């Protein structure tokens, strides 16, 4: 069975514990260290909140071309900043070779 993790602030990700996800809570300034810890867990999918994505964009770009883990951006409790949509468009552009969205 695939392992799934969630990295973000406590308020935004706490509810995902009910679905059996491994949770990695971050505080401001700790995003890179916490994501690095999650990356050592052999997860298939790692969900990150937009705040974590913004703080760790370079770190995420380094592993993006690997098969696993797949890193997916989700909004936090404060709402979407549009980063998830941007990432989906980027992935589609890369896969298809044109902006079809």
pLDDT per residue of the chain (101 residues) written in tens, 0 to 9:
579 999 999 999 999 999 999 999 999 899 999 999 999 999 999 999 999 999 999 999 888 778 889 888 888 777 666 666 676 676 666 666 766 65
Contact 83, 54 (CB under 8 A): yes
Predicted pLDDT at 53: 92
- Count: domains in the chain: 1
- The residues near 61 (Cβ < 8 Å, ≥ 6 apart) are none
Residue 76: which of 32, 22, 26 has the closest Cα? 26
Residue 74 counted as domain residue? yes
67: CATH: 3.40.50.10580
Q: Burial level of 29, CB count in 10 A (0-12/13-18/19+)?
A: exposed
Domain assignment present for residue 101? The answer is no
C-beta of residue 56 within 8 angstroms of C-beta of residue 35: yes
Q: Is residue 82 part of a domain?
A: yes
Give the residue numbers spanning the domain of 11: 4-96
Which pLDDT value is given to residue 80? 66
Q: Is residue 92 part of a domain?
A: yes
pLDDT of residue 79: 63
Residue 71 lies in a domain: yes
Per-residue pLDDT, 82: 67
């Amino acid at each position: 069975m695939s392992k799934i993790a969630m990295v973000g602030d406590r308020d935004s990700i706490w509810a995902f514990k009910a679905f059996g996800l491994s949770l990695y809570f971050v505080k401001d300034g700790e995003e890179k260290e916490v994501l690095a810890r999650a990356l050592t867990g052999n997860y298939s999918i790692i969900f990150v909140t937009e705040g974590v994505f913004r703080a760790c964009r370079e770190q995420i770009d380094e592993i993006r071309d690997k098969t696993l883990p797949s890193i997916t951006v989700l909004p936090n409790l404060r709402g979407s900043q549009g980063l998830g949509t941007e990432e989906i468009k980027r992935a589609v552009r890369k896969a298809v070779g044109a902006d079809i969205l």
